[in-house]
């Protein structure tokens, strides 16, 4: 059972990767290659935010961003769904730690906020 649980945790952990690659990687795709990239990027992020804020509200009854994948992963690690490890956890920070790169959870939040602002500026002024 523990081996199966470890496999599930790993699978859920790595399911985050395509989302993060899209979040950051779409900045590298020129509009000449994909004219609708800015619109897709904007709506991709808006949908992610809606899902995470909705999930946060369901779990904590307040406006908080919580990733459903993280909740599932942390549940399989043995943390209750309402545990701080669900809303005080970052895939990017955990991945960075595995890669021996020091980045704090709050640093990740700042980077995500900056990219979010850039995506909104692109969508409303440059599409």
* Residue 95 to residue 17: CA distance in whole angstroms: 9
Looking at residue 26, what DSSP letter applies? G
Looking at residue 73, what DSSP letter applies? H
Average pLDDT of the chain, as a whole number: 90
Taking the CB of residue 117, how many other CB atoms lie within 10 A of it?
10
Taking the CB of residue 92, how many other CB atoms lie within 10 A of it?
20
Q: Which residues of 16-25 are buried (b: 16+ CB within 10 A; e: fewer)?
A: beeeeeebee
Count of H-run helices and E-run strands, the chain? 6, 0
Q: Is 77 helix (H, G, I), strand (E, B) or coil?
A: coil
* pLDDT number for residue 24: 96
Q: What tens digit of pLDDT does each residue of 49-73 get?
A: 999 999 999 988 888 888 999 998 8
User: What percent of the chain is predicted at pLDDT more than 70?
Assistant: 98
Contacts 24+ apart (CB under 8 A), 37-45: 38/119, 38/122, 38/123, 38/126, 38/127, 39/123, 39/127, 41/119, 41/122, 41/123, 42/119, 42/120, 42/122, 42/123, 42/127, 45/116, 45/119
Q: What tens digit of pLDDT does each residue of 74-110 get?
A: 888 888 888 877 777 788 888 888 889 888 878 888 9
Query: Is pLDDT above 90 for 127?
Result: no
* pLDDT number for residue 1: 56
Full residue range of the structural domain in which residue 25 is found: 2-125
* pLDDT number for residue 2: 60
Count how many domains the chain has: 1
């Amino acid at each position: 059972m523990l081996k199966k649980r470890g496999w599930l945790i790993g699978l859920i952990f790595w399911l985050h990767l395509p989302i993060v690659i899209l979040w950051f990687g779409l900045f590298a795709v020129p509009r000449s290659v994909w004219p609708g990239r800015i619109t897709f990027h904007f709506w991709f992020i808006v949908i992610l935010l809606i899902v995470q804020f909705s999930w946060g509200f369901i779990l904590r009854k307040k406006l908080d961003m919580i990733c459903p994948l993280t909740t599932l992963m942390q549940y399989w690690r043995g943390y209750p769904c309402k545990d701080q490890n669900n809303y005080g956890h970052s895939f990017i920070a955990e991945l960075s730690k595995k890669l021996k790169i020091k980045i704090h959870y709050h640093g990740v939040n700042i980077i995500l906020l900056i990219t979010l602002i850039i995506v909104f500026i692109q969508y409303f002024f440059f599409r």
